[in-house]
Chains A and B, each alone.
Chain A
Amino acid sequence: MDTSLSWIKAYVPELDVTAQEYMDAMTLSGTKVEGFQRLDADLDKIIIGQIVKIEPHPDADKLVVCQVDMGQGEPVQIVTGAPNVEEGQKVPVVLDGGRVAGGHDGKMTPGGIAIKKGKLRGVESNGMMCSIEELGQSRELFPEAPENGIYIFPDSVKVGESAIKALGLDDVIFEYEITSNRVDCYSVIGIAREAAATFRKKFVPPVVTVKGSGGDVNDYIKVDVKDIDLCPRYCARVVKNIRLAPSPKWMQRRLAVNGIRPINNIVDITNYVMEEYGQPMHAYDLDTIAGHQILVRRAEEGEKFVTLDGQERIMDESVLMICDGEKAVGVAGIMGGENSMITDSVQTMLFEAACFDGPNIRLSAKKIGLRTDASGKFEKGLDPNNAKDAIDRACQLIEELDAGDVVDGMVDVYPGVKEPVRVPFEPEKINALLGTDIDTDRMLEYFDMLGLAYDRKEGEVIAPTFRQDISCTADLAEEVARFYGYDNIPVTLPRGEATTGKLPFKLRVEEVAREIAEFSGFSQGMTYSFESPKVFDKLRLDAEDALRQTVNISNPLGEDFSIMRTISLNGMLTSLGTNYNRRNRNVRLYELGNIYLPKALPVTELPDERMQFTLGMYGEGDFFTMKGVVEEFFDKIGMTKKRSYDPEAGRNYLHPGRQADIYYEGTRVGYLGEVHPAVADTYEIGERVYVAVLDMPSILPYASFDRKYEGIARYPAVTRDLSMVVPKNILAGQIETVIEQRGGKLLESCQLFDIYEGSQIKEGYKSLAYSIVFRAKDRTLEEADVTAAMKKILNGLESMGIELRQ
């Protein structure tokens, strides 16, 4: 929404502020001004002059030498090449030291162009006569300006006065951000009302009177509204003997600064009223309305209609149509039809000011792919009581502009009159909510400025229907706060019962995850929650894989963002790929983010959101580096019991011989491995990639920050080294399990210290060496204790086909 300062001043005549003051104060009282543009920002010293004499230039055929009367002293000599100058014309002249906004080609120069006196082909020139483009404007907004040449004023202007003023360029255009609850402020009058209240000035809205020219509207038109739910009010008036002509300059100017191109008096009046009252209007050629009757009804499914822009559009049953006795003549609230539009031959005209259901207009505009100024206003939900004022105002302007004869009376279909809302006035509650001590009279003053009446007897504030945002005490408190000033409300802190600030357990565990990852050299990444269904093929998932069951977005930004991820690897591998592609070396990333597993398909309840702690790396380090990070994380969150690694995980996206599912106390809590080279290729990573994914909901039940001091061993340990030749298919983990199970209570630890495969060892075997430590808490161990334990261990190992090397 834009307005010019001059138009606001038309309703707040006492308003006298600078543009900056207006912007600041309006913003603080709730009508946010986003910015402003002074139309004369780049114009300086531009005066109306009159050409008194034109002589040819002695040395140039295309130039002439003009003597221009500037209203004081001798005429000024100006050389020009403009083709349209004649003696006696009044023109805008920029004098020596002045500025214009741009060139006559319409190209603007920020800050303007300084004009200095000089010589043109040897003849002195002391200024410049200006085209409309040089004044920073366009023929779009000043249609009377010549296509190529100097702007010519009508004879009524006074020589020596400011040309800027005469053109109405001594004005400021404000751009507002109107919030969706203040529908009334999508109009000049609405904003003027706020401006008057903000600056404590008198608000003077137009006084609407229509003289009328006799007759009875009911003899011209009948209106029948079938779908009153979509059209709560329909007002119609008729104007006969239309006299089409350009609208007056002041109206053209006001429309122009609001960005609306002037066309003719009838079209301009409908646009003017739409801007002024915020009520879109439509004008039909009454002679094209069959049966002189209007029917408002929903369209038929698939109904075709040509709007006045010449486009054929297809309707469905939810779109509301304006029809005559035979056919549709307009799409309600959006655009009229080509078949009923005003043409130069119009005789009699039907004015429509209606109120349509906002959400329906919004949806219809979307459905038929046509959003107009009118639909933009209707979709916000207009006040039906505004329609009559607006249509009368339009008729008043018809009479003032002598554009036709208004037939007496109005057809008004308005079965459910909207009544003002009454809100109990409870000043103490308002003060309690705001934390203020504002007296009652002051509050009532604010209400009065805004047009909210006070019923003293009932103790109620009556909100006019255009203020549909007011329905309870909190709403009144907002009005008070806005005009008391948010700045003036005191600053306190909540009192009352103290509460403990805290982080939930889940977030504390995530914090440890971040710490461990970062200490291990991993930086935190973030990736999107939605991705492409093609991801599953990139990760080589089976067609039957359960992860392909996804929660889908019904209106995604595109296929690439259409499913909620069920696996976190795609984001990680994509990020690693980006880094690899940018030649970053030794990259380690981690992410803490959710996957979304549907509980049932189709989706009927919220999916299972599972936080995944995902680590990925390429460059330095290997499988066991990654395994180390996982184990340190477990240690730090108190998961110090035995973890086991199952190499038979069978995950297609990982190297078949370098992957493991991670189990803790029999629960699978995650997996790790080297990424399958085919997958690494897909993500264009030219090195070995290692990943680990930990499923945090599976981990949380085992995590704990409770710690207990166990004492430091006081008795000596006994260490036995054990060297063995082992069939290759036996895993170190299996050997350790045997040692741990058979070592008994005295076993303190077993540590692999050597592993060897090669020529010294027979085919199909490997050599492993463990250092096994025994210790008792309460005594020094005897040789016999250790021998007994070792014997059990050795027996166990031998039964697995392991040869011991003593």
Chain B
Amino acid sequence: MKEKLQKIREEAMSQIRDAVDLNMLNDVRVGILGKKGALTSVLKSMKDVAVEERPKVGQMVNDVRGEIEKMLEEARTSMEAAVREARLKAEVIDVTLPAKKNNVGHRHPNTIALEEVERIFIGMGYEVVEGPEVEYDLYNFEKLNIPADHPAKDEQDTFYINKEIVLRTQTSPCQARVMEQGKLPIRMISPGRVFRSDEVDATHSPSFHQVEGLVVDKNITFADLKGTLEEFARELFGENTKTKFRPHHFPFTEPSAEVDVSCFKCGGKGCRFCKGSGWIEILGCGMVHPHVLEMCGIDPEAYTGFAFGMGLERIALLKYEIDDMRLLYENDTRFLKQF
């Protein structure tokens, strides 16, 4: 009996060794452990064994069975691994073949610049406010301390619909509209389309965009204006950006300033980009003129404020080094795809 089992075991080992695929392995299993298999038939012949011997023989059969099952399992695992290995080998791809892209569209550089500006000021607690593009003369000029005979109102700069209605020449009328609502304090920016009667060329467009900013509260100072815009310039143009405030004149602010930032191309050393000066002009600003506060129903004795305004196209042209403004309105996808 023992020899018989030993033989089955060896037979099994050799068959397992010879099996070349999972099918053959399965045949081996069936041939030994199956209903009609060699080992099963040994078990069937147990009845011929003496009763007292049976437990011992049974134990031997089970041991052999366990051993064979283990061998079969090991063979199967290694065979499966080999099969997977072979499949992976066959499935090698050329990873340098072209990607399958979704061809996502591109945002206009003006919008990208605007979103950056909005992000910075929203972070500082400013609300974004919109105003009409076709605007009353009253808001575009008069309430901003630009009286009827001011040269800026001259027809060569302003598009008129009629005597009372113009295409807004600046986003500043939004200042007046927000102040008039009388909700204080105010911290807002107002982006939008503005219009000036300029012929189209590489640096001019009769339609462009501005972003206006306004803060009105108690105890707002020129120092606060400087601090706010320095912070803004660093956020927009980089940590090392320096700012320079130069006295200037705007009818609706007093004192007023123009702001230069250190050239972000050369860091202020002077290059072709900044025309050798090391500085680039980016915006105008100032303390809200007391007449403007008054005309909009805010007591200039109790409140002060600052305002600033910048051209969005100018920021976009500078930041993305676009050399011709006309590109912004042609909508050639070869241009737009670069943003």
The answer to whether A435 and B224 touch (CB under 8 A), given A501-B122, A553-B159, A584-B332, is: yes
Residues of the B chain whose Cβ atoms lie less than 8 Å from the Cβ of A503: 118, 122, 128
The answer to whether A555 and B289 touch (CB under 8 A), given A507-B128, A525-B108, A584-B332, is: no
Q: Is A579 an interface residue (CB 8 A)?
A: yes
Docked-complex contact A491 and B105, CB < 8 angstroms: no
Docked CA distance A489–B329 (Å): 41
Residues of the B chain whose Cβ atoms lie less than 8 Å from the Cβ of A582: 332, 334
Docked CA distance A609–B193 (Å): 12
Q: Is A458 an interface residue (CB 8 A)?
A: no
Report the interface size for chain B: residues with CB under 8 A from the other chain.
81
Docked-complex contact A491 and B223, CB < 8 angstroms: yes
Q: Is A502 an interface residue (CB 8 A)?
A: yes
Docked-complex contact A518 and B105, CB < 8 angstroms: yes
Docked CA distance A474–B129 (Å): 27
Instruction: Encode A427-450 as 1/0 by CB contact (under 8 A) with B.
Output: 000001111100000000000000
From B107, B129, B219, B290, A495 is in contact (CB under 8 Å) with B219
Docked CA distance A182–B230 (Å): 28
Residues of the B chain whose Cβ atoms lie less than 8 Å from the Cβ of A501: 121-127, 187
From A32, A179, A491, A579, B230 is in contact (CB under 8 Å) with A491
Instruction: Encode B129-165 as 1/0 by CB contact (under 8 A) with A.
Output: 1101111100000000000010100110001111001
From B107, B122, B154, A524 is in contact (CB under 8 Å) with B107
Question: Closest chain B residue to A592 by CB distance?
Answer: B111
Residues in A455-495 with C-beta less than 8 Å from chain B: 469, 472-475, 477-478, 481-482, 486-487, 489-495
Instruction: Encode B221-243 as 1/0 by CB contact (under 8 A) with A.
Output: 11110111011000000000000
Stretch at the interface among B4-12, B40-48, B244-252: B244-252
Q: Is B304 an interface residue (CB 8 A)?
A: yes
Instruction: Encode A17-60 as 1/0 by CB contact (under 8 A) with B.
Output: 00000000001111010000000000000000000000000000
Docked CA distance A492–B228 (Å): 7
The answer to whether A523 and B336 touch (CB under 8 A), given A561-B206, A606-B165, is: yes
Docked-complex contact B199 and A557, CB < 8 angstroms: yes
- Whole-angstrom distance between the Cβ of A426 and the nearest chain B Cβ: 11
Residues of the A chain whose Cβ atoms lie less than 8 Å from the Cβ of B337: 523
Docked CA distance A524–B222 (Å): 38
Docked-complex contact B333 and A587, CB < 8 angstroms: yes
Residues of the A chain whose Cβ atoms lie less than 8 Å from the Cβ of B155: 555
Q: Is A603 an interface residue (CB 8 A)?
A: yes
Question: Closest chain A residue to B135 by CB distance?
Answer: A606
Is chain B's binding surface mostly helix, strand, loop or mixed?
A: mixed
Question: Closest chain B residue to A475 by CB distance?
Answer: B254
The answer to whether A575 and B125 touch (CB under 8 A), given A518-B106, A528-B206, A555-B160, is: no
Docked-complex contact A555 and B136, CB < 8 angstroms: no
Residues in B169-212 with C-beta less than 8 Å from chain A: 185, 187, 193, 195, 197, 199, 206-207
The answer to whether A579 and B333 touch (CB under 8 A), given A502-B122, A526-B328, is: yes
The answer to whether A557 and B249 touch (CB under 8 A), given A433-B304, A495-B219, A501-B124, is: no
Q: Is B104 an interface residue (CB 8 A)?
A: yes
From B129, B195, B224, A493 is in contact (CB under 8 Å) with B224
From B103, B135, B287, A474 is in contact (CB under 8 Å) with B287
Residues of the B chain whose Cβ atoms lie less than 8 Å from the Cβ of A362: 151, 154
Docked-complex contact B149 and A607, CB < 8 angstroms: no
The answer to whether A526 and B108 touch (CB under 8 A), given A433-B304, A606-B134, is: yes
Q: Is B217 an interface residue (CB 8 A)?
A: yes
Docked-complex contact A487 and B187, CB < 8 angstroms: no
- Whole-angstrom distance between the Cβ of B54 and the nearest chain A Cβ: 54
Docked CA distance A609–B331 (Å): 23
Q: Is A509 an interface residue (CB 8 A)?
A: no
The answer to whether A504 and B128 touch (CB under 8 A), given A497-B217, A526-B331, A557-B197, is: yes
- Whole-angstrom distance between the Cβ of A569 and the nearest chain B Cβ: 14
Docked-complex contact A504 and B129, CB < 8 angstroms: yes
- Whole-angstrom distance between the Cβ of A432 and the nearest chain B Cβ: 7
From B128, B134, B160, B247, A478 is in contact (CB under 8 Å) with B247
Q: Is A500 an interface residue (CB 8 A)?
A: yes
Residues of the B chain whose Cβ atoms lie less than 8 Å from the Cβ of A434: 221-223, 255
Instruction: Encode A520-549 as 1/0 by CB contact (under 8 A) with B.
Output: 111111111110000000000000000000
Report the interface size for chain A: residues with CB under 8 A from the other chain.
89
Docked-complex contact B102 and A602, CB < 8 angstroms: no
Residues of the A chain whose Cβ atoms lie less than 8 Å from the Cβ of B217: 494, 496-497
From B125, B128, B154, B246, A486 is in contact (CB under 8 Å) with B246
Residues in A562-590 with C-beta less than 8 Å from chain B: 564, 575, 578-579, 582, 584, 586-590
Docked-complex contact A584 and B199, CB < 8 angstroms: no
Q: Is B257 an interface residue (CB 8 A)?
A: yes
- Whole-angstrom distance between the Cβ of B205 and the nearest chain A Cβ: 8
- Whole-angstrom distance between the Cβ of B329 and the nearest chain A Cβ: 6
Q: Is A552 an interface residue (CB 8 A)?
A: yes
- Whole-angstrom distance between the Cβ of B158 and the nearest chain A Cβ: 8
The answer to whether A594 and B133 touch (CB under 8 A), given A181-B249, A432-B219, A498-B125, is: yes
Docked-complex contact B249 and A180, CB < 8 angstroms: yes
From B132, B154, B329, A527 is in contact (CB under 8 Å) with B329
Residues of the B chain whose Cβ atoms lie less than 8 Å from the Cβ of A474: 254-255, 287, 289-290
The answer to whether A609 and B133 touch (CB under 8 A), given A435-B222, A492-B227, A555-B160, is: yes
Question: Closest chain B residue to A470 by CB distance?
Answer: B254
Q: Is B167 an interface residue (CB 8 A)?
A: yes
Docked CA distance A324–B255 (Å): 46
Q: Is A519 an interface residue (CB 8 A)?
A: yes
- Whole-angstrom distance between the Cβ of A501 and the nearest chain B Cβ: 3
- Whole-angstrom distance between the Cβ of A691 and the nearest chain B Cβ: 14
Docked-complex contact B249 and A182, CB < 8 angstroms: yes
Q: Is A358 an interface residue (CB 8 A)?
A: yes
Docked-complex contact A504 and B227, CB < 8 angstroms: no
Residues of the B chain whose Cβ atoms lie less than 8 Å from the Cβ of A496: 185, 217-220
Q: Is A514 an interface residue (CB 8 A)?
A: yes
Question: Closest chain B residue to A522 by CB distance?
Answer: B105
The answer to whether A517 and B105 touch (CB under 8 A), given A496-B218, A555-B197, A575-B330, is: yes
Residues of the B chain whose Cβ atoms lie less than 8 Å from the Cβ of A728: none
Docked CA distance A584–B124 (Å): 42
Question: Closest chain A residue to B167 by CB distance?
Answer: A553
Instruction: Encode A159-194 as 1/0 by CB contact (under 8 A) with B.
Output: 000000000000000000001111000000000000
Docked-complex contact A518 and B107, CB < 8 angstroms: yes
Q: Is B110 an interface residue (CB 8 A)?
A: yes
Q: Is A720 an interface residue (CB 8 A)?
A: no
The answer to whether A521 and B102 touch (CB under 8 A), given A32-B246, A494-B215, A553-B161, is: yes
Question: Closest chain B residue to A481 by CB distance?
Answer: B255
From B199, B224, B246, B333, A494 is in contact (CB under 8 Å) with B224
Question: Closest chain B residue to A490 by CB distance?
Answer: B223
Docked CA distance A589–B193 (Å): 20
Docked CA distance A586–B103 (Å): 10
Docked-complex contact B165 and A603, CB < 8 angstroms: yes
Docked CA distance A579–B127 (Å): 37
The answer to whether A489 and B207 touch (CB under 8 A), given A475-B254, A524-B105, is: no
The answer to whether A557 and B219 touch (CB under 8 A), given A493-B231, A578-B332, is: no
Docked-complex contact A499 and B187, CB < 8 angstroms: yes
Q: Is A714 an interface residue (CB 8 A)?
A: no
The 15 sampled A-B contact pairs (Cβ below 8 Å) are A179-B249, A478-B247, A497-B217, A500-B125, A501-B126, A503-B128, A504-B129, A520-B105, A525-B108, A525-B331, A526-B329, A557-B206, A564-B134, A607-B134, A609-B132
Query: Taking beta carbons and an 8 Å cutoff, which residues of B are in contact with A?
Result: 102-108, 110-111, 118, 121-130, 132-136, 149, 151, 154-155, 159-162, 165, 167, 185, 187, 193, 195, 197, 199, 206-207, 215, 217-224, 226-228, 230-231, 244-249, 254-257, 287, 289-291, 304, 328-334, 336-337
Known contacts A486-B257, A491-B227, A526-B110; 15 additional CB pairs below 8 A are: A359-B149, A481-B222, A486-B226, A492-B226, A499-B185, A501-B121, A503-B118, A504-B130, A523-B333, A529-B133, A529-B195, A553-B167, A555-B160, A557-B199, A606-B136
